[in-house]
Structure 1
């Protein structure tokens, strides 16, 4: 139903530090993304991926710190609860509901540090894990109920972020294109949620 490789690549880029071995291994394969999906706007995707694949890890370390570690004021927090909770709380009720959903599917996120499971990159990788299990219904639930209600707003904020490089804004643009195509392809109806950011 879904190409797990593309989800894992995108998820890793939104989660792992540029200094991690994981991301150092992922960056060289970004140029392959146009071959992993039947893109409607292939030329645009190829252009974005060509720019992404030119990046060296050291060039995006500062941007990663701003966008994912909270150096300064975080312009685009990567956790769903910040958008879904009235007081912009990390690990709010929406996180608890999502954690319960993951547990019912046998997915436990253990990254070695206590962090919210509703981090955008982790959620993309969770979809990949469900796809590997062949659980199409769970994929649809995750997308409609837990990710898509806030994902487009998050990706919009990443694209608007004042970063030193265009890597993360371009990555957000690519991911936005992919998720909208996936939503159309699967006929998804994201839950209508009020966003507070």
Structure 2
């Protein structure tokens, strides 16, 4: 992979994370634009996963309005009442409670790179959308720097955060989403999220080695 291919692959990864993160917020009028962004990102980094984006687009276009998706989103992720698929890492890693040690540890990752609570991220540190958005942020920082050593450090941060946080709880979370969702849209989203994070965990060591070779 040459340097331009390398940069394009990372840019596509960032767009995929950005799109996935947005899909874990309440459905809005911008949903088709988000799905198009996601599809383009997947085609550029993990083309084998792009059909999931096609399925999401098809499910979205079958909706007369966003009411069904909003109802299912609320029941799965928002409440009130018990959540069908709690979207917080601490729920899975801290014995079924939220705002636990996992939450604080995620916050520490953000603070190290200058992100503050209530600033760039408005939701709990271990909310799935926040963690996915943080991965997008780290990729953005990696691509913005002209220093190969700094870029490598941002890739190391990506691997460390991914393996320590979403990579540890995405499977039980997305299995609940797939099982509990009433709208096929969220079943597909759960399956895509699980497979995307697994693909990232498998690919990041090789991507970092390729980047270091190109800049070495």
TM-score with structure 2 setting the length = 0.73
In the alignment, what sits opposite 1:121? 129
Structure 1 residue runs of 5 or longer lacking an equivalent are 189-197
- Structure 1 runs (4+) greater than 4 angstroms displaced: 111-115
Task: Confirm or deny: 8 A CA contact 2:16 2:39 kept in the other structure.
Answer: no
Q: What's the counterpart of residue 136 of structure 1?
A: 155
Return closer, same or farther for 1:109/1:4 CA change in 2, 3 Å cut-off: farther
Residues 109/159 of structure 1: CA separation in 2 closer, same or farther (3 Å cut): farther
Measured against aligned partners, the alpha-carbon deviations of 1:91-119 in whole angstroms (never above 9, x if no partner) come to 00111111112101112242799752100
RCO comparison, higher one (Cα < 8 Å, 6+): 1
Are the equivalent residues in 1 in contact too, given 2:23–2:34 (CA < 8 A)? no
Q: For 1:36, what is the secondary structure of its paired residue?
A: helix
Summarize the alignment of residues 173-184 of structure 1 with structure 2, pairs less than 5 Å apart: 173-184=191-202
- Measured in 1, the distance between the counterparts of 2:53 and 2:120 equals 35
1:57-91 per-position Cα deviation (integer Å, ceiling 9, x unaligned):
223111111112124431210000000112x1110
Q: 1:52 to 1:180 in 2, by over 3 A?
A: farther
Aligned residue runs from structure 1 range 21-40, under 5 A: 23-31=28-36, 33-37=38-42, 38-39=45-46
> Between Structure 1 and Structure 2, how many residues are aligned?
181
Q: Which residue of 2 aligns with 1:193?
A: none
CA RMSD of aligned residues (A): 2.5
| Residue in structure 1 matched with residue 15 of structure 2 by the alignment | 5
Is 1:65 matched with 2:74?
A: yes
Larger Rg belongs to: 2
Deviation at 1:31, TM superposition (A): 4.2
TM-score computed with the length of structure 1 as normaliser: 0.80
Q: Structure 2 regions of 5+ residues with no counterpart? A: 1-9, 143-153, 207-216
Give distance in 1, aligned partners of 2:184 and 2:81: 19
Instruction: Report deviation, 1:122.
Output: 1.0
Shift of 1:45: 2.8
